[in-house]
Amino acid sequence: MAIRPPIRRPYPTEPGKTSIAGLYALENMSRAVIGPVIALEGMRILGDAQQLSVILFVGSIFSMAIMLSSGWFIRKFSRKFVFTAASVMAVLAAFFYIQENALSFGLATALRTAGAGLVMTVVSLYIMDFIPSADLPKAEARKILMAASTWIFFPIIGVWLWTNQAHYSPFVASGFIAVLMFLFFWYIRIKEADSVQAPTAASLNVFQALRKYFSNRHLTIAYFIAFTRATFWYMLFTYSPVYIVQAGLHESWSGIFVGIITSVLLLSDFFARIGQRYGIRRSIRFSFFVGGICMTAIGILPEPTVYALIFWFVASLTADMLDVIGNLPFMRIVDEQERVEMTMVFATCRELAVTVTPGIGAVILLFFPLEALFIVWGVMFLAVGSVVMKLPRHVG
């Protein structure tokens, strides 16, 4: 008698908050173990923060091109295909990081950033398709909470491996976790939502999607909320290790500091309740104002100092609030029939942050010390906070 292995069926209705959050947590774990290590490795290979900013900027251009094509790939193939491609990118990035030269470093960063953006796009689509609008704050909080747990210890582990073992060891760990993410995704076998439609010429047109997205001023504000929030975390993982070393602390403190900072993400449920109680728009505006003041304060200090880490911590509280509720304006504004195209555009906010942050950093660091970066970002935070209340009332 022929014997065959059992066939797993896809979820009949919805994947559930926990399984979606679990996927996102594994992706974050893969990045967390190399978070501060990327800056340290880049400084070791390239020599200074200005050159590091240049190569990160160049690599991000490639990443942006991939993200702008994500909607085309999702419509033409499937979300499963895109998620699988993102997993492969993460593994390839780990391989290129191990090569320890400037070219492979830039290519690895581009692949890693694009892969993370594709995962975020797919996860966001699953959340919007399967989670009711009223439950979005809780779903986002659970997603952030599970992802946050990885950023508490894994940056410390990554830096410890980099400083005490081989320089390539954290990148090997990152690639291994990416493989686990791929296997878990195919184990749970999430089905395509009923709202997914066959692609049309219009839905596959990237430039038309861009025009349509940014012709809506509310979606534009939602984009800049997410973009500015993303730049904060990029600043943290790229420039805080450099700042810590300039402040006179040992390199190992960069991993510990990142772990401490990201530990506030464990308060995600608390911040979700605050957003629901006091209003999404008001909470977002308050977060940008406080974060902007803290970032500006870091820049005003005459030189890098350990006391500035206090401002980093307070700013991280506001960034966590934005992580939990910052995507809700987009999710509550976007039309259901346009989710794939509009999410493709919205997801580029992360890639744009990865492009703009080192690009601006490379220019500023040619003429000014590192502290000038924080003043620029403080002003940006205050500017975005000033337009948040122009969002429609149904956002919250």
pLDDT for 208 equals 80
pLDDT for 193 equals 54
pLDDT for 296 equals 92
pLDDT for 247 equals 78
d(CA 232, CA 335): 28
pLDDT for 179 equals 92
Mean local confidence (pLDDT), 185-204: 59
CB contact at 8 A, 290 and 378: no
Q: How far is CA 53 from the centre of its chain?
A: 18
Q: What percent of the chain has pLDDT over 90?
A: 8
d(CA 199, CA 133): 25
CB contact at 8 A, 247 and 305: yes
CB contact at 8 A, 103 and 337: no
Residue 307 burial (CB < 10 Å; 0-12/13-18/19+)? exposed
Number of residues in the chain: 396
pTM for this entry: 0.67
Radius of gyration (C-alpha) of the chain in whole angstroms: 20
Mean local confidence (pLDDT), 216-236: 87
Mean local confidence (pLDDT), 211-219: 87
pLDDT for 92 equals 92
pLDDT for 290 equals 93
Domains of the chain and any CATH numbers: 17-192+202-395 (1.20.1250.20)
Go through 342-354 and write b for each residue having 16 or more CB atoms within 10 A of its CB, e for each that does not.
Answer: bbbbbbbbbbbbb
Residue with tokens 């910052």: 326
User: What are the pLDDT digits (tens) for 42-75?
Assistant: 888 877 777 777 777 777 777 777 777 777 777 7
CB count within 10 Å of CB 104 equals 16
CB contact at 8 A, 263 and 272: no
d(CA 300, CA 302): 6
pLDDT for 9 equals 40
pLDDT for 137 equals 65
CA distances from 359 to 231, 347, 352, 353 (A): 12, 19, 10, 10
Q: Considering only CA atoms, which of 373, 5, 325 is closest in space to residue 141?
A: 325
d(CA 81, CA 93): 18
Min mean pLDDT across 109-123, 132-146, 327-341 is at 132-146
pLDDT for 285 equals 92
Residue 69 burial (CB < 10 Å; 0-12/13-18/19+)? middle
